[in-house]
Structure 1
Amino acid sequence: MRKEDSMMKFRKNQNKEKQTPKEKKPRVYKVNPRKKVVIALWILLGLSFSFAIFKHFTAIDTHTIHETTIIEKEYVDTHHIENFVEDFAKVYYSWELNDKSIDNRMENLKAYLTEELQALNIDTVRKDIPVSSSVRGFQIWTIELDGDNEFDVTYSVDQLITEGGNTKTVKSSYEVSVYVDGAGNMVLVKNPTITSIPKKSDYKPKSIESDGTVDSITTNEINDFLTTFFKLYPTATASELSYYVNDGILKPIGKDYIFQELVNPLYNRKDNQVTVSLAVKYLDQQTKATQVSQFDLVLEKNGNNWKIIK
């Protein structure tokens, strides 16, 4: 190829390259990466702060729910107070129909009453009183701590009242307050004040009834077993009891009782055990009275033999 031709061809190619438009590059929008990081950090900080507040209040609530207050009751020996009040009652409710007895009563009361109470009781038993009195019974019912050194005592007293040739027993109940100082010395600070003592409750326990889960054959077996056992029980030794009773359920009593009968035994089955509720009549050879004992037992059969397990 000639040199001129080569030059022309080079120029044509060069012109083509100049005429070909360059492809435009797409514009890239750059986002500041630091802005995202800052937002994320603020969100994380907010979440952490909220969680910390939540945990704070939750922890307080949990502590409040599970907090247990243990109150330990302090044992207080009140025998000395009981004796003091009983001795006082023997003086306070006793007198004879003569001036000397009544004067001695007031003099002896000084060992129990404050000066204020001594003055209050001057005319409680007048010298012209038509009856004499002696204490035939006394019982403390309650002693309650009322303040640091003061105790409220409720008691009842049986007085034998004699008027002329007639006698009668009068039972009354009162409350007094006893102050005990640091050395253990005592004095009454409240005069015997009429009150009441507990009476019989109207509570009726739920009656136990047989539910029919124990058949007649089993009932007869248990009747025979219990009859044999309770005949031996009053005089049985520990080793003899071990054939009938698990260790420690019923202990030897060593009494001269004669078995009479089982009273109204009620049997109910629970799994492989039978619960028994019954009374047992004995004749007490010493008092000649009938002794009736009540038992709630659990029996279990091992092979052919029954045994008291609870």
Structure 2
Amino acid sequence: MEDAREMRLLITGGAGFLGSHLCERLLRDGHEVISLDNYYTGSRQNIEHLVSNPKFETLRHDITFPTYLEVDGIFNLACPASPVHYQKDPVQTMKTNVSGAINVLGLAKRLNVRVFQASTSEIYGDPQVSPQPESYWGNVNSIGIRACYDEGKRAAETLFFDYHRQYGVDIRVARIFNTFGPRMARNDGRVVSNFIIQALANEDITIYGDGNQTRSFCYVDDLIEGFVNLFFTDEIHVPVNLGNPQPITMHQLAQEVINLTRSESKIVFKDLPSDDPRDRKPDIARARELLNWEPRIDRETGLQKTIDYFSALA
């Protein structure tokens, strides 16, 4: 791989929650960074503080259309990631996953550069094994309301590995588990931001289902460290889970948020949405072995940082 300190890197979805943090990290490491985003769910505010950096560029562009840039590497993060947003326009979500993957892979093939795919734990569907290792093929409802995202990401992985096998494209694939931190969108419907916003307003905290379903939450700084380690490590042409292996029930999470915010909120329960997985717990043995990576920021510390961010927005 070329000297990591001198690369010109394209980040699709660069104005999103994860993308903006990745832009920051790569700039801090000395790279030139191009953020490409159509601002469907990303926000100009997320990257406004970077615009004055001479090594940073931003382009408004929809990745479902080809882009012709000269770069040394690509991170493909473009896709709405919360059910509220990806279910709003499921056809466009599928196009972003599939056509977007084809376009970034075509660019990587033409330029002969490394390309990183931000995949997801949702490719495992409602899992029948726990924790979920990369060898697990998943349990996805291909015609359900979440399929535009779940199957779209699965199709994108297929394209990445076919481009690698057929054309020799140098790929990296990260399967991202639940991540949280500053710059989560207020309206994205994700559980951590929902709970914090409701708690800060002393409103009822809404849990869908009985509250016993589990998720494993990774703080954003840890995840970005995993991205960087994976991208800059040679010869890893297998999917790698990135997430926190410590699960928590939704009821426990709601109580933690109430305690940390000193909120007067009460917990209320509503019907569980269709195809909502009961369990999310990554097996990160591969990340530990290949990248020497595991989360280091504990949940309480991460939650407090996220609470401070949303408090400042109020």
Would you call these one fold, judging by a TM-score over 0.5? no
Whichever structure has more strand as a proportion of its residues is 1
TM-score, normalised to structure 1, is 0.20
Higher RCO by CA contacts (8 Å cutoff, separation 6 or greater):
2
TM-score, normalised to structure 2, is 0.20
